[in-house]
A and B are shown apart, each in its own frame.
Chain A
């Protein structure tokens, strides 16, 4: 891990001192265990603030949207795919970006680790350490351990593009990629009857406080005015009415169709622990099955829902 930190700092220092970029966007150490804070560095001598470990789960592509500076950004596989989206969708110019790609081992699931610490040690997490694929968690008086692979965020367990797809320099050795996604989680829900599905999603959204952290953490959600914030006309009510809450989630998911990279930022950010990826994963699966499309893999292809193709499997379009 620390080799990656050194490499990131070195690159940042060089880029800033040579005046190649105006700022470097990365992570700095957080004030809580399992939390790092997205940050920027403008001076070479401050590059040592940058860190890298298994708690960099927030998607940094979210922080480059519409910025005018020349930016270097630290990017995991998923962030790099969202940077591709951003370039394709004209939210940032490729020339303005210097991508410091980091080969990614997956991020740890802070919620899972916190829950297990409560169950196993009746205490909150004090510190997390990793060695040889084993995570050791200090919680109160106890130390518990588990294989790293068990404690990854769900999206990282399923991730197929851990190596950045677009970068200017690469940090770390490329890691082996997982060949395909079985979408087993989506299939489980698809197999439900309409009533069961309805009950499932109703239950899932019952604790949503409508803070929109899921939306705001996502690099895809950059509309100047989101449809839920639009007031003339007002599309969606603003109360805790379950219909309005569902409307928000369903519509947001559709806005992400063909664009979501399954980076997991939305789910990680949700204060209530709602597995919001269940919506976007279904659309990712559909895009893949219907159009052979995965978002953010190449600058040369228009997104699935942004093209006309005579071979489209749907009849209505012909």
Chain B
């Protein structure tokens, strides 16, 4: 493990050097109580005091609205009636200060967008253009964080190129990939940190001990899908839900989208927008039939997808990194931890007539 020490006095100078080779992104304050991941203007730096953002940085790679093609309907134009692909920005970018759970979330999503059979060019181009400079959490971001039991954790480095650890007067930069090493080189950060390993380890232990909340996932794989699907608790779980989709929009691992054409005058674009299993148009068939026509169907879909179908399909944990955003932002307090434990612990009634 290679670790570089970055004193906080050289931090901003180094980032300024990075601007020559990278477009920089990072958390900036937005509104009264929020941070959002945005491009950093010259002279602007990531706000490293942030705990977590309401909306996850997934929008950097998978924007809420993303134009894919453009066309025009003007017969006089040589491009008339031709769909032109809108070039995706593939220039090198670096996002600084991304939290470990959010970086891990990209890997969970990658399984769906970058497969041997199908590669989503928009997602993959954007994903690969980013160097991810992570920021370990010295402390749980919130009482609702359950990252350590969801396959991630405050010092987890999967999906990152560098993991920064804040020691007070300096950052310890753990180099995870060559891409990360390159970024540090461009910044001019090169001071090796002796005995950093033990320091990181003790900070990690301390951080993990502050994660107060957890989920049980050990039995999900062995649950019978159809039995969980028919479990009696869905009506109760879904009752309060208002199908707003906030849980899915704020979730770093929710990936559903819908494709739309929008025309203004003679100009048009074909774009994709985030969609959500919570919405009435989601899975609405051309015939008018909707296999997920009611709230119970939709809520069940969200939890079954994250906690059962995904588990079965990829055989490597749940489609959730434990950031807790959906719990904090849900207007009616539907709590995935509670649902996960109910699903995990469910035993179908054995008294049914066989």
Q: In this complex, which of A30, A58, A63, A271 has the most chain B Cβ atoms within 10 angstroms of its Cβ? A: A271
In this complex, what residue of A is CB-closest to B32?
A115
Residues of A within 8 A of B337 (CB): 31
Cβ of B12 under 8 Å from chain A: no
Q: Which residues of B contact A272 (CB under 8 A)?
A: 31, 34, 54
How far does the Cβ of B228 sit from chain A's closest Cβ, in whole Å? Answer: 21
B144 within 8 A of A: yes
Residues of B within 8 A of A212 (CB): 244-245
Chain A contacts with B in 248-275, Cβ cutoff 8 A: 268-273
Q: Does A130 contact B (CB under 8 A)?
A: no
Task: Please determine whether B65 and A216 come into contact, CB atoms closer than 8 angstroms.
Answer: no
Q: CB distance B273 to A31 under 8 Å?
A: no
Q: How far is the CA of A63 from the CA of B242 in the complex (A)?
A: 9
> In whole angstroms, how far apart are the Cα atoms of A270 and B244 in the complex?
10
On chain A, the residues within 8 Å of B31 by CB distance are 207, 272-273
Smallest beta-carbon distance B210→chain A, Å: 12
Which secondary structure dominates where chain B touches chain A?
loop
- Does B218 sit within 8 A of A, measured CB to CB? no
Contact indicator per residue, chain B 326-354, by CB within 8 Å of chain A (1) or not (0): 01110111110110000000000000000
Q: Is the CB of B333 within 8 A of A37?
A: yes
A271 CB contacts on chain B under 8 angstroms: 54, 244, 246, 250, 329, 331
A216 to B279, alpha carbons, bound, how many Å? 11
User: Is the beta-carbon distance between B33 and A39 smaller than 8 angstroms?
Assistant: no
A231 at interface, CB cutoff 8 A:
yes
Beyond the given pairs A114-B33, A240-B273, 16 more chain A to chain B contacts, judged by CB atoms under 8 angstroms and listed by A's residue number, are A31-B337, A32-B333, A32-B335, A37-B332, A38-B240, A40-B236, A58-B332, A115-B32, A207-B30, A207-B34, A213-B331, A229-B279, A239-B273, A269-B242, A269-B331, A273-B33
Size bin of chain A's contact surface:
35 or more
B-contact 0/1 string along A7-46, CB 8 Å cutoff:
0000000000000000000000011100111111000000
- Partner pick for A124 among B142, B249, B334, CB 8 A cutoff: B142
B291 within 8 A of A: no
Q: Which interface class (under 10, 10 to 19, 20 to 34, 35 or more) fits B? A: 35 or more
The answer to whether the Cβ of B194 comes within 8 Å of any Cβ in the partner chain is: no
Interface residues in A270-303 by Cβ distance below 8 A to B read: 270-273
Q: Enumerate chain A residues within 8 angstroms of B143, measured Cβ to Cβ.
A: 32, 124, 126
Residue B55 is within 8 A (CB to CB) of chain A in the complex: yes
Report if B258 contacts A (CB, 8 A): yes
Specify which chain B residues have a CB less than 8 angstroms from the CB of A104 in the assembled complex. Answer: none
When the two chains form their complex, are residues A31 and B249 in contact, meaning their CB atoms are under 8 A apart? Answer: no
Is there an interface contact between B242 and A229, defined as CB atoms closer than 8 Å?
no
- A20 smallest CB distance to B (angstroms): 21
Known: A238-B260, A238-B273. A30 touches B333 (CB 8 A): yes
User: A residues bordering B, Cβ < 8 Å?
Assistant: 30-32, 35-40, 58, 62-63, 111, 114-115, 118, 124, 126, 207, 209-213, 216-217, 225, 229, 231, 237-241, 268-273
Q: Note all chain A residues with C-beta closer than 8 A to B64.
A: 209-210, 239-240
Contact A273-B32, Cβ < 8 Å, known A212-B244, A239-B271: yes
B214-225 Cβ-contact flags toward A at 8 Å (1 or 0)? 000000000000
**Is the Cβ of B327 less than 8 Å from the Cβ of A31?**
yes
B280 at the interface (CB under 8 A from A): yes
A46 to chain B, nearest CB (A): 10
Some 19 contacts from A to B, beta carbons below 8 A apart, are A31-B333, A31-B338, A32-B144, A37-B240, A38-B240, A39-B239, A39-B240, A40-B236, A111-B33, A124-B143, A207-B36, A212-B245, A213-B244, A213-B331, A216-B242, A217-B331, A240-B273, A271-B246, A271-B250
In the complex, what residues of A have CB within 8 A of residue B236's CB?
A: 39-40
| CB pair A216 B243 closer than 8 Å | yes
Contact B65 A31 (CB under 8 A): no
On chain B, the residues within 8 Å of A39 by CB distance are: 236, 239-240
Contacts of A37 in B (CB 8 A): 240, 332-334
Which residues of B lie under 8 Å from residue A31 when comparing CB positions?
327, 333, 335, 337-338
Find out whether the CB atom of B144 lies under 8 angstroms from the CB atom of A209. Answer: no
Mark B242-280 against chain A: 1 for CB-CB distance below 8 A, else 0. Answer: 111110011000000010101000000001010000011
Q: Is there contact, CB below 8 Å, between A269 and B260?
A: no
Within the assembled complex, what's the spacing in Å between the Cα atoms of A210 and B246? 9
Most buried by B among A35, A111, A231: A35
For the complex, what is the distance from the CA of A156 to the CA of B68, rounded to whole Å?
46
**How far is A58 from B333 in the complex, measured between Cα atoms in Å?**
11
A210 and B274 alpha carbons, distance in the complex (Å): 10
Query: In the docked arrangement, what's the CA distance between A21 and B34, Å?
Result: 44
B338 touches A225 (CB 8 A): no
